[in-house]
Amino acid sequence: MTSLPYHGLRLLTVHAHPDDESSKGAATSAKYAALGARVLIASMTGGEAGDILNPALLQSPKASRDIAGLRREEMATAAAALGAEHVWVGHVDSGLPDGDFDNQTPPGCFYRVPDEVAMLPLVHIIRTFRPQVVTTYDELGGYPHPDHIKNHAVTMAAVAAAADAEQNPELGEPWQVEKVYYNQDLSAKKWVTIHEKMTEAGLESPFADHIEDFKKRDAQRVNWLSTTIDCAEFFPSRDRALLSHATQIDPEGGFFSASRKAARTYWPTEEFELAVDNTGRTPLTPGVDFQETDLFASVTLDDGRKVSAKGMLPASPDEDEDNEATGESA
């Protein structure tokens, strides 16, 4: 019996709230799961402070009475749609205050917990799951939400602590994550490019009212799209997962429908930014986009085999040696 090509590889995707895993890198998660990798989604919070954004559920007694419980059910359905495993890290949703995050977020919420404390459950998850690759958000959170910004800080602290045998030995044997990526699926570069392509084609762009916001965000931080994943065939899985979060997504909403359709036509990939590389390979050129097509490129499996620098798991140890010598992919 031949195993799937990515059997033995493990991807941990760390997100702030349930539904983030379905709107950021979801097709990539579905693709790797379908290829045999174990994909674990870690939700930092339960989304308890989320509003009901779907008009169809505004009168739902369950949604108004127990949105936290309903979002747990939605998350289970979404993970199944992606073929992924899921774990709750256990922090409390901070909400999205109008003012200063330090003063306006409630006591005890995720944003207020010190990083060295907030990271501990994630350190245990990393040491237990032993992912070769972790994805999270950049230092600005991808967009200015306190839990997304905190998600970055806590993930990076947990990755470093998980590899340190001296730190919190009660949380498991140390584990060195080989690669960390920032999810850039919502990068300004992507949506501005799609807008420009649609405008050039004489089409009405659903992003016209958002372009200035995208450009302002890009001015705050230059995003590096180091790694692009060809995953268009898994867009239906991504969309099913996102629609599973019925409290958060209006399926009739114009922006949802139009943006997904536009991405399928003009940008059928998902992008990531390489943040940490412990593989020992020749470093990528900083700032140059689209250098990789596989998050697992050059990582090492538990049995010592190494994924080709071009990606895809070699079929045998002999091929592995040939690939590492020639730089060719299996």
Domains of the chain by start residue, with CATH: 10-186+224-299 (3.40.50.10320)
The percent of residues in the chain predicted with pLDDT above 70, rounded, is 88
Tokens representing 245?
Answer: 């979060």
Q: Pick from 12, 17, 32, 2: which is nearest to 270 by CA?
A: 32
Task: For residue 147, give every residue at least 6 positions away whose Cβ sits within 8 Å of its Cβ, in sequence order, or none.
Answer: 16, 17, 44, 45, 93, 94, 110, 111, 141
Please check the confidence at residue 68 and state whether its pLDDT lies above 90: no
CA distances to 40, 85, 120, 132, 317 from 116, rounded to whole Å, are: 22, 26, 7, 22, 41
Which has more pLDDT, 86 or 47?
Answer: 86
Task: For residue 81, give every residue at least 6 positions away whose Cβ sits within 8 Å of its Cβ, in sequence order, or none.
Answer: 22, 30, 237, 240, 241, 244
For residue 216, what pLDDT is reported?
A: 81
For residue 269, what pLDDT is reported?
A: 96
Annotation-wise, does 148 bind a ligand?
A: yes
The least confident of 107-116, 238-247, 276-285, 294-303 is 238-247
pLDDT for 220-249, tens place per residue?
888 999 999 999 999 999 999 999 988 777
pLDDT for 13-58, tens place per residue?
999 999 999 999 999 999 999 999 999 999 999 988 776 766 667 6
Please check the confidence at residue 2 and state whether its pLDDT lies above 60: no
The answer to whether the beta carbons of residues 217 and 282 sit under 8 Å apart is no
Tokens 């009212």 — which residue? 209
Annotation-wise, does 294 bind a ligand?
A: no
For residue 247, what pLDDT is reported?
A: 79
Which has more pLDDT, 114 or 143?
Answer: 114
Please check the confidence at residue 263 and state whether its pLDDT lies above 60: yes
Mean pLDDT, to the nearest integer, of 95-120? 91
Mean pLDDT, to the nearest integer, of 170-187? 96
For residue 97, what pLDDT is reported?
A: 82
Annotation-wise, does 15 bind a ligand?
A: no
Please check the confidence at residue 69 and state whether its pLDDT lies above 90: no
The answer to whether the beta carbons of residues 132 and 38 sit under 8 Å apart is no
Nearest-10 crossing angle of helices 120-129, 146-162: 50
**What single-letter DSSP state applies at residue 203?**
P
Mean pLDDT, to the nearest integer, of 282-302? 96
Residue 97 and residue 105: Cα distance in Å, rounded? 6
Tokens representing 57?
Answer: 């559920």
Q: What is the mean pLDDT of the chain?
A: 88
Question: Where do the H-state alpha helices sit in 182-248?
Answer: 188-200, 211-220, 235-244
Helix (H, G, I), strand (E, B) or coil at 38: strand
What backbone torsions phi and psi does residue 174 show, to the nearest 5 degrees? -60, 150
The percent of residues in the chain predicted with pLDDT above 90, rounded, is 65
Which has more pLDDT, 190 or 319?
Answer: 190
What backbone torsions phi and psi does residue 156 show, to the nearest 5 degrees? -65, -40
Please check the confidence at residue 96 and state whether its pLDDT lies above 80: yes
How far is CA 235 from its chain centroid? 15
Residue 164 and residue 161: Cα distance in Å, rounded? 5
Tokens representing 248?
Answer: 């958060």
Task: For residue 11, give every residue at least 6 positions away whose Cβ sits within 8 Å of its Cβ, in sequence order, or none.
Answer: 29, 32, 37, 38, 39, 40, 131, 132, 133, 134, 135, 295, 296
Which has more pLDDT, 102 or 123?
Answer: 123
